[in-house]
Amino acid sequence: MQTGKGIKRVGDALVFLHNWILFPSYISMMQQRAKKLRPQGFQGKGDKEVKAEYMRTLSHIQAVKRWQQKYDEIYDKFFKIID
């Protein structure tokens, strides 16, 4: 593990685990943001921007959930301790 490749592998594993642990809290934060932006009729001039932001947020949440599924598959394959 003292080679460049070994150090990179350990670093990659640490970053992976850091991201994997934080997915649920990030998704929760984005869902709260979407709830604040939720459309209430969109009547005024600025409503187009708010609606667009709301739709982008929903799309981003779905993308992050897909990433989390991929991370879960990788975690199950490489990091999960088998009993």
Q: Report pLDDT digits (tens) over 28-59.
A: 999 999 988 886 656 666 678 888 888 999 99
Please determine, for residue 1, whether its predicted confidence score (pLDDT) is greater than 60.
no
Spatial separation of the C-alpha atoms in residues 36 and 46, rounded to whole Å: 15
Q: What single DSSP character describes residue 63?
A: H
Q: What single DSSP character describes residue 43?
A: -
Between the CA of residue 33 and those of 25, 26, 36, 54, 79, what are the distances in Å?
12, 11, 5, 9, 32
The full set of domain ranges for the chain reads: 23-78
What is the distance of C-alpha 75 from the center of its chain? 15
Query: Considering the entire predicted model, what is its pTM?
Result: 0.76
CB atoms within 10 A of CB 54: 19
Please determine, for residue 26, whether its predicted confidence score (pLDDT) is greater than 60.
yes
What is the distance of C-alpha 79 from the center of its chain? 19
